[in-house]
Structure 1
Amino acid sequence: MAIALALAAAVSWGTADFLAGLASRRVSVPVVLFLVEGGGLVVILAITLVSGKPFFDDASDFWSALGGGLSGVLGLGCFYAALSIGTMSVVAPISSAGVGLPVVVGIATGNRPSAVTALGLAAIVAGVVLASREEHADSEAAASSRRAVALALVSAIGFGGFFALTDAPSDASVPWTLVIARSAALPFVALIIARGRPRLPTRKLGLGIAAVGTVDLLATALIAIANTKGDLSVVSVLGGMYPVMTVMLAAAVLKERVAAPQVLGIVLALGGVGAVAAG
């Protein structure tokens, strides 16, 4: 059950990320982030209130969900920014490296990874390096690519933090974990929008972006439920396979093409993710 839920989450996430990435090329990233997070929040808050689910008994679950939400929004904002200026087929696999963060934390606190896990981490690192080696016609394009890769790496850290911090509160209450995580950073995003005063999208586009938030919410809900059914490391890694969907959509819709070394890097990164799960 946990594996099926995590894979369904990956498909939903990959689709939502592709659509939000497209929107970020037309609308300011903070606006897209606010609409995606806000759209999902409206739905999950209504569901939670109607269902009458009890709030957390332990205050630590609240703070952990809050921290996970902040980490996740940081990751999502950087990810959308990277998708808006970089090659989606490259950015998406790099962001998935965040699933290795719990493993790295475990190593730092004294855990010894298995040989398969260590090999997977090495493959992820090598894959990120190869995938980020793009050839560009001019220095401006090269600078944008480097910026996109840097943002994707930061997003990986943010996503890894989300996976780790929302594990315990999800065991207590999946709906309230999602409500707290979704609402955590909205005031800060709103402040950024107010200060920057970007051009707002049309009503139709705005509603479309908010609808993407419900798809993203579905993925988040599926991964949160999966965390209660199976092992965190396995669920996190399978959920982290969302770049496969994003890459497929980018190839089919945007006709993106990547060089052979980058293809190898993408395969290595995703293969490393699978190896970490197996370990």
Structure 2
Amino acid sequence: MKIAEKCENFSSARPQTPDFSRSVCLFDSGIGGLNVLFACRRILPDEKFVYYGDNERAPYGNLPEEAVKAYVYEAAETLTEYRPKALVLACNTATAHCARALHSMYPFPIIGSYPPLLSAGKHGGEGLVLVTRSTYSSEFFASLLRRARTLYPAVRFLPYPCDDLAAIIEDTNGRGSAKLYTSGLPARKFSFVVLGCTHYAYVKKAIADFYGCPVYDGNERTARRLACILASRRVKSGEGKADNGGTEKSAYCVTIPDHNVDFSEENVSSDGKVLFVGSGKRKNKDFYEHSFVDTLS
């Protein structure tokens, strides 16, 4: 089948309502990335989003690098079927192991999630950096830490791998007692705390109360970076050109199958802005509705 015919067939075969093709896609192993989604919805209220949650295998933080790569690449390939404007890795572990490779694999922007070391470091002092075990052991994180220490030589960044915290948050939806989330953390004073996992934002207040210091997460910064990239490429509302000078439509059509694209209304949020896919689509949709929709409306 010719590319032009494939594109035409894709347009006619898919339901027009709801239609989430040319949306911004987000990926996380579970509920953590919903924090990033909420920030994106607030900063980009007119955009539509596809949220892929791999909750059945969540969290990724203690998985070996090769397993993380396999799961993330599988999700990314699925999300290409929606012809995304951009793919947001709303997962620090996925970013650490996969962002660089994904940049070279796809024509659309890849936006990662990073521990905000540089933003926190400018305040000085001694900071605790909470990350997953897999992120902690990655060269990506080591490089980020070296950069922060070079820019702020007087600041002490103390990385700490949390082996169980993301799993506890995923299992309890972040609604357990404060002690449940802080009992395994280092019991000492810090000038600031950096959250290096999107799951950890659910217990940001508990961590801030435990340490009595500022706590920083990168969720809003990720959303603002997405907004800047979309604006610079002029692809809001599905318009614009690809960086190679041609229309983006042709770049996506070669990877789109004629089936398996999920536009099911039952998986769309009540505000009509988010389509939930992946193994955790029901859980993530319910969590989004109960936690975020009321505050956005």
- TM (norm. structure 1) is 0.24
| Higher alpha-carbon Rg | 2
Q: Which has the higher strand share?
A: 2
Higher relative contact order (CA 8 A, sep 6+): 1
Q: Which has the higher helix share?
A: 1
